[in-house]
Structure 1
Amino acid sequence: MDDIIIIGGGIVGLSTAYALTERFPHARLRVVEKEDQWAKHQTGNNSGVIHSGIYYKPGSLKARFAKAGSEQMKDFCAKYDINYESCGKVIVATKQTELPLLQNLFERGLANGLDIFMIDPEQLKVEEPYVQGLQAIKVPQAGIVDYKQVCETLVLLLKNQGIEMVLNTEINDIYEHEQSVEVIANDTIYKTSYVVNCGGLHSDRITKMTGLKPDLQIVPFRGEYYELKEKKHHLVKNLIYPVPNPDFPFLGVHFTRMVNGGVEAGPNALLSLKREGYRKTDFDLKDFTEVMFYGGFWRLAAKYWQEGARELWRSYNKKAFVKSLQELIPSIQEDDLESAPSGVRAQALQSNGKLVDDFFIVTGKRSIHVCNAPSPAATACFPIGREIAGRVPEIGT
């Protein structure tokens, strides 16, 4: 019998297992993942930004954990010789109407304890010579890393600790009892004292297996990217972001220099017709039907239909996508870009149509469920893991 089973082998599940080994060094832990490799979905399709925490409501888990996680991620990478850079980023206002929003964002960053500063157009040209803007925030804490390499290191550390690491194991059901939990996976019954659900795109379904019914549902959003051709890499020195819509959880199309080379441009944000739908043609009837019959989705769509229409137009019209990029770098042309792999964001949505804007963790009788952990969860994975480990009761109680 296991002491704790961790469901999900992305960076949140792996960092949670890592934190649990620190708190319970002699516990019998098992990490189960339905895919044939670790970090295959949100983590494995991440552009690799180490976020600072500037965007998030002061005092929220996202704000606190992103700031702490940024520092802890860099420390972890330095300790285990993982390639990363504290390259910094700029958040750029390109229109007069964006200047008040930029100021609000700057004040939020200060409230979150960040060492940031405003720069004028001349200073911006020093930071990013090809960017055109009226004013910008310089965020020195932002960085880049290969999160797959972070996960590979975590897997190795966990295996060396004697943790059972099991791939190709899909959870079919969970039964919580007074003193134990039965986890059914691939027609095998695993018995454990406690379950931690870090199921990402399927976290809500796993939560409901235990009988919990939180007011949310995962709605998948596909983010589509382009990549700058090598001859145009010089246009982007580090990370270049627009001023985001404060009412929308996405940061807008931006430029990301990646730690292993290359520069990504994007993403847009589109409803995915499959929870693991990385292509426009991907479709799953169950996933699609769940969204279409969820009242929260239609309330969200009624509020943001204009933004949704613009995202859809950019998806099918490269000129429109490039036009958005040209607001930041006017010299970008269609021929400078080639298609890059997409990612899918697991975004929790409430029945009233409101997007869950913070990390959201639910506790059952003998289980803990991470029900909303989109970006910046990769950056914040170590504080998230320690938060979850701290909520697990003493083994045997």
Structure 2
Amino acid sequence: MYDLAVVGGGIVGLSAAMAVGKRYPKARILLVEKESSWAHHQTGNNSGVIHSGIYYKPGSFKAKFCRDGSRSMVEFCRENDIAYEVCGKVIVATQDEQLPRLESLYTRGLENGLPVTKLDAAAVREIEPHVSCVAGIKVPTTGIVDYKQVCQKYAEIVQAQGGELRLNTKVLKIRALGANSVLETNRGSFETRFVINCAGLHSDRTAKLAQVDPQAKIVPFRGEYYELTPEKRYLVKTLIYPVPNPAFPFLGVHFTKMIDGSVHAGPNAVLSFKREGYKKTDFDLRDFTEVMTYPGFWKLAAKHADEGIQEMIRSFSKAAFLRSLQQLIPEVKAEDIVPTHAGVRAQALMSDGKLVDDFLIIQGKNSIHVCNAPSPAATSSLEIGKAIAQAIPDGQHLQTQVKV
């Protein structure tokens, strides 16, 4: 018998287990992950950015958790000797018509309590000499890290707290047993008083296994990246982002210096035909059918048809992808970029075609379900974990709990 079981060994699941273990040190905690390693999907295939929180609606979970999370993540890395760098980033307008959007983003940064600074084109070039733009914003609190290393440390801490970690353990069914729940897996059954669902790309399905309707469906979007060749890494000093289109839910292709010194360029955003579809050829009939028969997807597709077509063109045309990059750094040539790994974003979509633009955390009976946690969830993971631990009803489920 466990007091609490976490489903999902990405950064949010591991953080939740760690936070619960700290808050309730006598609780017996189990974490199950279907893959053979931690951070196998979203966490291990992202760009490694410690986000500042500039993009998110003031007062939203994303804005608060990301702003606070960028600080707590840096502190965690410092305390645990994990390599990181607070290198800052610039967000640039490449055309005059983008200036009003840049101004709105600057205002949002101030509203979110961030130390953002306006830059003219010359000031941008002092930071990033190869960028072509008309103006920009400096966001000094943005950083970079390897989130796989962060997850490994989270796992070590959970184990040190007495938590039980099980890899290669896939949840097949969740059934009620009196006031408790039983996780039926490919490696046996586990009874628990409380369930925390952090299953990422499969979080909506896991919620339904627990008889909870998330009111949204996970639609997978693949983000494809190129990488600058080593001899061209000098073109990027920090992180370089375009002004995002507020009507489109993605940030646009950008340049990101990685903690290992490499520089990634991208991503685009295209529908994946498989929830874990990291290649263009990946296909799963169930995943594909669910999206194609979901009314919300077609409403979203109709609303963003032009942008969606451009993203697909970039997916299949290196020349089109390159043109997007050249809007930021004109010197980049086709021979300067090579394909690198892709990631898949687990994006929750409602039936009316609206994207869930904030973290979605649902309280069930003896359970909590994290049903929308794409970027900036990695940055925010420590804060999300704390919030989940605090949301567990005191004295009701964790019978061996002791507050600290």
Percent pairwise identity: 57
The answer to whether the Cα contact below 8 Å between 1:176 and 1:366 also exists between their aligned partners in 2 is no
1:1-397 map, 5 Å: 1-186=1-186, 188-394=188-394, 395-396=398-399
SS in 2 for 1:252: coil
Structure 1 residues without counterparts, runs of 5 or longer: none
Q: Structure 2-normalised TM-score?
A: 0.97
Q: Which residue type is aligned with residue 152 of structure 2?
A: E
Give the superposition deviation at 1:178: 4.7
Superposed CA offset, 1:116-162 (max 9, x none): 11011111110000001111000000000000000111111111222
Between the aligned partners of 1:244 and 1:21, the Cα distance in structure 2 is 39
The answer to whether the Cα contact below 8 Å between 2:22 and 2:161 also exists between their aligned partners in 1 is no
Between the aligned partners of 1:93 and 1:113, the Cα distance in structure 2 is 22
Give the superposition deviation at 1:47: 1.1
Q: Which residue type is aligned with residue 82 of structure 1?
A: I
Between the aligned partners of 1:272 and 1:65, the Cα distance in structure 2 is 28
Between the aligned partners of 1:29 and 1:60, the Cα distance in structure 2 is 30
Counting matched residue pairs gives 397
Give the superposition deviation at 1:214: 2.4
Give the superposition deviation at 1:189: 1.6
Give the superposition deviation at 1:304: 0.6
For the aligned residue pairs, the C-alpha RMSD in angstroms reads 0.9
Between the aligned partners of 1:163 and 1:23, the Cα distance in structure 2 is 13
Q: Which residue type is aligned with residue 10 of structure 2?
A: G
Superposed CA offset, 1:294-344 (max 9, x none): 000000001111111000001111011000000000111110000100000
Give the superposition deviation at 1:247: 1.9
Between the aligned partners of 2:153 and 2:46, the Cα distance in structure 1 is 17
Give the superposition deviation at 1:187: 5.9
Between the aligned partners of 2:387 and 2:248, the Cα distance in structure 1 is 26
The answer to whether the Cα contact below 8 Å between 1:359 and 1:372 also exists between their aligned partners in 2 is yes
Q: After the TM superposition, which of the residue ranges 158-167 and 59-68 deviates more from structure 2? A: 158-167
Q: Which residue type is aligned with residue 5 of structure 2?
A: I
SS in 2 for 1:379: helix
Give the superposition deviation at 1:177: 4.6
Q: Which residue type is aligned with residue 163 of structure 1?
A: G
SS in 1 for 2:194: strand
SS in 2 for 1:313: helix
Q: Which residue type is aligned with residue 156 of structure 2?
A: L
Q: Which residue type is aligned with residue 64 of structure 2?
A: R
Q: Which residue type is aligned with residue 140 of structure 1?
A: P
In the TM superposition, structure 1's runs of 4+ consecutive aligned residues that sit over 3 Å from their partners are none
Q: Structure 1-normalised TM-score?
A: 0.99
Give the superposition deviation at 1:210: 1.4
SS in 1 for 2:43: coil
Between the aligned partners of 1:364 and 1:216, the Cα distance in structure 2 is 15
The answer to whether the Cα contact below 8 Å between 1:346 and 1:374 also exists between their aligned partners in 2 is yes
